[in-house]
Chains A and B, each alone.
Chain A
Amino acid sequence: MSSPRLLQGTVERVAPWLVPIAILILWEAGARSGFIEARTLPAPSQVAVAFWESAKSGELGRNVLISFERAMIGLAIGGGLGFLLGILTGVSRHAELLLDSGLQMLRNVPHLAIIPMVILWFGIDETAKIFLVAVGTLFPIYLNTYHGIRTIDRGLIEMAEVNGLGKFAIFWRVLLPGAMPSVLVGLRYALGIMWLTLIVAETISASSGIGYMTMNAREFLQTDVVVLGILVYALLGKAADSATKLIEHRVLAWHPAYHDRAAAN
């Protein structure tokens, strides 16, 4: 590798961090000079101290873990169901007729609006939060799976038929891989909705989790812990997004948009 290329690589690695770091420095300076009041927004250093203390006591780890667990179980149930329903309505005219308009109706209900009902049904324990996350993640994945299968080039299906592929082979080798780019877009949408739902659910009714931690801190005016909670959400969201990108690179390796530079040359 030549040195200009190395330099370019370093620049590309560093550049995305420049703006966040600059904001952090300005923020710290503002807090220290008294320009920003500590009760309005604590200095980054205070947040760091809060992080250290709650990490040391194990409280942070415990809360992150429980939130992560809720998010993943909810996503697995809602996303899995959405994926299966999307495949069903994508490949079958009958299933589409039967299910699609109902699902489209449900999709347009803001799922957070059913929180009162959910509390009546499930109380305020784990089931309620997992249910909300599942409902929130079902529709983006359903819609994108359905759309992904429906928009596959008919010419490819015809080609597969002429070459003697059976129905299952066409499903596994043409429909499913062809729908994957769309399914993964759905997954990324679902991840955003997943964290959003969890924040709301945990701040309304919970006795553990990041949302609970921040709501509790608010009552005692611990703004540093509140900011810490928000930052943890941001990091979890970013981690989930990176994980999807990783999956995309593996699953969509064939797609020109994901070709490595080395392979293209």
Chain B
Amino acid sequence: MGSFVLKRLESIDIASSSTRPEDSHLKDRQTSSFADDRKQGRTLALEDLHLAYGQREVLRGLNLNVPSGQFLAIVGRSGVGKSSLMRLIVGLDKPTSGRVSIDGALVNGLQKSVKLLFQDARLLPWQTVLSNVGIARSAGWRDAAMKALSDVGLADRHNDWPAVLSGGQRQRVALARVLVGNPNVLLLDEPFGALDALTRADMHVLLEKLWLRERFTALLITHDVAEAVALADRVVVMREGRVVFDVDVNAERPRLRTSPELAELQSRILREV
């Protein structure tokens, strides 16, 4: 039956999992996650990336280096290839040419060290909140999932069905799900785009807190420049499949959204988008 499932997945264009990292990789990561050293970010290098779907060129020679533990925001209009870039980094798709490497190792197939937070929460409706968070079912998943749920403030909802949660709560469950995997690189694909402004502000605080604690390398895709400037160490602007603007944000954390420097930076970035 296994091969049938695989064929089925290939038939709907999901990358083959034949190149999945070995189990030993998983064990390494588990031991490291229990160590005191919380500086678990990895460096990410994207070199001359090209990606084309048929005639349509999505990425045209994109170069980007992200140091370990950096919080990078990628800003761009819709359709400039931001989401495609995420899929390349996590290993769901392969670039037409160019290379993606994490800590110097070439990305080939799905990456265990990289987790992706989708725009929609993508919870399994037929599993409880706790089972959704511990979806990978690694050893001791219940405790780990419970801990991640209390990190996002939803420990008391662990036994609920996803259907009874609000949109913001669902996205927090999805955040707990990526955290439980102790990602070294966390990709966030417009994760708060569908939330209302107040919930979004709460999510920003939560994400910043968790990032400061875990120090994973974070890549946030957004079209909200204010969000990018409020959260990121560095903002890049993507246009026509390339990085066209790159700026560091040196403001102290926690940041005041109303500060004049940030407002000035925002308008500079907006001019580039």
Contact = CB atoms under 8 A, between A and B. Distances in A.
A92 B8 contact: yes
Contacts of B120: 155
A159 to B, nearest CB: 4
A160 B132 CA distance: 10
Interface stretch (A20-28, A32-40, A171-179, A235-243): A171-179
Nearest to A154: B12
Contacts of A234: none
B127 A173 contact: yes
A89 to B, nearest CB: 9
A95 B4 contact: yes
Given A154-B14, A159-B118, A93 B125 contact: no
A178 B116 CA distance: 22
Interface stretch (A41-49, A74-82, A161-169, A197-205): A161-169
A247 interface: no
A245 interface: no
Nearest to A92: B4
B110 interface: yes
Contacts of B199: none
A180 B10 CA distance: 23
B8 A264 contact: no
Interface string A62-105: 00000000000000000000000000101111110000000000
Contacts of B90: 162
Given A168-B2, A259-B161, A162 B7 contact: no
A234 B164 CA distance: 37
Nearest to B11: A93
B7 A158 contact: no
B66 interface: no
Interface in B83-106: 90, 92
B6 interface: yes
Contact of A254 (B6, B8, B127): B127
B126 to A, nearest CB: 4
Interface string B111-144: 0100110101010111100000001110000000
Contact of B9 (A153, A162, A167, A259): A167
Given A155-B118, A259-B161, A259-B163, A163 B4 contact: no
A85 to B, nearest CB: 12
A12 B91 CA distance: 54
Given A159-B122, A173-B127, A254-B127, A168 B5 contact: yes
B112 A164 contact: yes
Interface residues of B, number: 39
A9 interface: no
Given A167-B9, A259-B163, A161 B125 contact: no
A76 to B, nearest CB: 21
A159 B189 CA distance: 13
Q: Is the interface of A mostly helix, strand, loop or mixed?
A: helix
A232 interface: no
A248 to B, nearest CB: 13
B4 A156 contact: no
B135 A165 contact: yes
A162 B164 contact: no
B177 interface: yes
A170 B124 contact: no
A6 to B, nearest CB: 26
Contacts of A253: 161
B7 A93 contact: yes
B17 A156 contact: no
Contact of A167 (B17, B125, B135, B177): B17
A162 B21 CA distance: 12
Nearest to A94: B7
A91 B1 contact: yes
B118 A165 contact: no
B163 A157 contact: no
Given A156-B122, A158-B14, A159-B122, A164 B5 contact: no
Given A158-B14, A252-B126, 14 more contacts: A92-B3, A92-B4, A93-B8, A93-B10, A157-B9, A159-B118, A162-B92, A162-B115, A163-B115, A163-B177, A164-B110, A177-B127, A256-B161, A263-B164
Interface of A: 88, 90-95, 153-171, 173-175, 177-178, 180, 252-256, 259, 263-264
25 contacts: A88-B4, A91-B4, A92-B3, A92-B5, A153-B122, A155-B120, A158-B92, A158-B122, A164-B20, A164-B26, A164-B112, A167-B9, A168-B2, A168-B5, A175-B5, A180-B126, A252-B126, A253-B161, A254-B127, A254-B161, A254-B163, A255-B163, A256-B161, A259-B164, A263-B164
